[in-house]
């Protein structure tokens, strides 16, 4: 259908990325982050519609390939979070269907979703990370936990290996609590990660753009009302104070921004990412993880950072859309 028949003015097509194409916003899915993804997707879809795009939302299920084909989707905006949407799976399908899509490619998405692989790459590329351990399911639980304590000490953070939004994250302060937490997470999620617990300032840095336009956004400081920035604190309005720019001196701010870009490049990410850090009282800084599809909900970090830079939610959506491609 010609763009003029879709109600999109010719000047919009010239000035807006993919202005003459039908944009499918992929959201929902089947991961534990489904509800968050639906909120992200709605925000993106509303923004694109508001800006004159021929856009539609697609709740991703087993029939996603048919939906993409039947709806004549020409470019995909991925607003999925968690397994099936952030781990390279949907990216591989879109590449097979030759549909340009936003965000990182198959390999970078898969690595970023796996915390062990992410930290291996970070260590190799000089991005500082905390001590960690990965309980082996072939060993007895007591043996795996003893190995973890030797590596990380106590207290320790226990996390699912391939989940986002702080799903399942627990703090273990003694050996019994660690054993119980690892047992629960391995049973529920398959694999777990144990990491040294560090009480410090939690910050996050968005990375946006491609090529010469690649840049770090202003550093955002997170002050949760809970003990740490868990799922409730992330997605419940009023549960976390967002301070942007963060209360850091100039040197620490610059280091955080440089490390975020270094982490993005180390994993081979494309278009957008967000890197979470913990800053110790002595100023040491450690990368916790990289999110290859940051949230776009009203309480998400990336929109807060773009606002501090002087941009808007709509401009953020367009910049991410402009990164859509098959070559990453």
Catalytic entry in 54, 230, 289, 319: 289
Shared-domain flag, residues 48 and 79: yes
* Predicted pLDDT of residue 6: 35
* Predicted pLDDT of residue 136: 83
* Predicted pLDDT of residue 41: 98
Q: Is 165 a catalytic residue?
A: yes
pLDDT at 12 over 70: no
Nearest one of 215, 235, 218 to 319, comparing CA atoms: 215
| End-of-domain residue from the set 163, 178, 196 | 196
Catalytic entry in 295, 304, 305, 313: 295
* Predicted pLDDT of residue 162: 79
Judged on CB neighbours under 10 Å (0-12, 13-18, 19+), 225 is exposed
Q: Is 313 a catalytic residue?
A: no
In tens, the pLDDT along 293-313 reads 999 998 899 999 999 999 999
In tens, the pLDDT along 256-292 reads 999 999 999 999 999 999 999 999 999 999 999 999 9
Q: Is 295 a catalytic residue?
A: yes
Residue 177 domain-assigned (yes or no): yes
What is the band of 228 on the pLDDT scale with cuts at 50, 70, 90?
Answer: low
* Predicted pLDDT of residue 293: 97
Q: Is 33 a catalytic residue?
A: yes
Shared-domain flag, residues 36 and 77: yes
Shared-domain flag, residues 61 and 14: yes
Shared-domain flag, residues 263 and 120: yes
Residue 133 CA: distances (Å) to CA of 120, 123, 168: 12, 14, 17
Shared-domain flag, residues 116 and 209: yes
Region 106-114: what's the mean pLDDT? 96
In tens, the pLDDT along 42-69 reads 999 999 999 999 999 999 999 999 999 9
Residue 235 CA: distances (Å) to CA of 61, 100, 127: 24, 30, 28
In tens, the pLDDT along 231-249 reads 555 555 667 889 999 999 9
Shared-domain flag, residues 192 and 213: no
Instruction: Give the pair of three-digit tokens for residue 65.
Output: 């390939």
In whole angstroms, what is the distance from residue 328 CA to residue 323 CA? 9
Shared-domain flag, residues 205 and 177: no
Residue % of the chain over a pLDDT of 70: 90
pTM: 0.90
In whole angstroms, what is the distance from residue 62 CA to residue 68 CA? 12
Residue 85 contacts residue 32 (beta carbons within 8 Å)? no
pLDDT at 5 over 60: no
Residue 13 contacts residue 69 (beta carbons within 8 Å)? no
Catalytic entry in 19, 21, 33, 43: 33
* Predicted pLDDT of residue 165: 47
Burial state string for 185-204 with b = 16 or more CB within 10 A and e = fewer than 16: bbeebebbbbbbbbebbbbb
Residue 68 domain-assigned (yes or no): yes
Strands lying side by side in the sheet with 132-133: 132-133, 192-196, 156-160, 170-172
In tens, the pLDDT along 147-195 reads 999 999 999 999 988 765 466 789 999 999 999 999 999 888 888 999 9
Catalytic entry in 162, 165, 166, 300: 165
Region 5-25: what's the mean pLDDT? 68
Domain count, the chain: 3
Residue 328 domain-assigned (yes or no): no
Residue 280 domain-assigned (yes or no): yes
Shared-domain flag, residues 213 and 118: yes
The answer, yes or no, to whether the previous bond of 245 is cis (omega within 30 of 0) is yes
Q: Is 230 a catalytic residue?
A: no
* Predicted pLDDT of residue 189: 85
Residue 327 domain-assigned (yes or no): no
Shared-domain flag, residues 79 and 154: no
* Predicted pLDDT of residue 227: 60
Shared-domain flag, residues 211 and 301: yes
Shared-domain flag, residues 162 and 239: no
Shared-domain flag, residues 98 and 221: no
Residue 107 domain-assigned (yes or no): no
Catalytic entry in 89, 291, 292, 300: 291
**Looking at residue 302, which CATH number applies to its domain?**
3.30.470.20
Region 26-34: what's the mean pLDDT? 93
**Looking at residue 91, which CATH number applies to its domain?**
3.40.50.20
HEC profile of 49-106: HHCCCEEEEEECCCCHHHHHHHCCCCEEEECCCCCCCCCCHHHHHHHHCCCCECCCCH
Structural domain span for residue 140: 132-196
């Amino acid at each position: 259908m010609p763009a003029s028949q879709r109600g999109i003015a010719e000047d919009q097509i010239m000035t807006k990325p993919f202005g003459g194409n039908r944009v499918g916003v992929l959201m929902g899915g089947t991961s534990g982050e489904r509800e968050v993804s639906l909120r992200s997707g709605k925000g993106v879809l509303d923004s694109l519609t508001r800006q004159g795009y021929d856009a539609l939302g697609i709740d991703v299920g087993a029939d996603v390939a048919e939906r993409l084909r039947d709806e004549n989707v020409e470019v995909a905006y991925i607003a999925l979070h968690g397994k099936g949407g952030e781990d390279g799976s949907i990216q591989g399908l879109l590449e097979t269907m030759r549909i340009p899509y936003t965000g990182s490619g198959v390999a970078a998405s898969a690595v970023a979703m796996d915390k062990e692989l992410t930290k291996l790459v970070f260590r190799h590329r000089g991005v500082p990370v905390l001590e960690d351990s990965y309980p082996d399911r072939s060993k007895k639980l007591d043996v795996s936990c003893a190995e973890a304590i030797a590596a990380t000490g106590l207290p320790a953070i226990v996390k699912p290996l391939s989940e986002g939004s702080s799903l399942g994250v627990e703090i273990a302060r003694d050996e019994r609590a660690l054993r119980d937490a690892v047992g629960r997470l391995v049973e529920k999620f398959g694999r777990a990660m144990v990491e040294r617990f560090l009480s410090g300032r939690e910050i996050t840095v968005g990375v946006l753009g491609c090529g010469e336009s690649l840049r770090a956004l202003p550093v955002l400081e997170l002050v949760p009302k809970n003990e740490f920035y868990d799922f409730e604190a992330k997605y419940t309005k009023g549960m976390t104070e967002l301070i942007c720019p963060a209360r850091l001196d100039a040197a620490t701010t610059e280091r955080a921004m440089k490390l975020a870009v270094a982490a993005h490049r180390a994993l081979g990410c494309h278009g957008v990412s967000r890197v979470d850090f913990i800053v110790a009282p002595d100023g040491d800084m450690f990368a916790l993880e990289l999110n290859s599809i940051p949230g776009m909900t009203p309480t998400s970090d990336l929109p807060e950072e773009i606002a501090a830079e002087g941009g808007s939610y709509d401009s953020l959506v367009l910049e991410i859309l402009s990164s859509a491609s098959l070559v990453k």
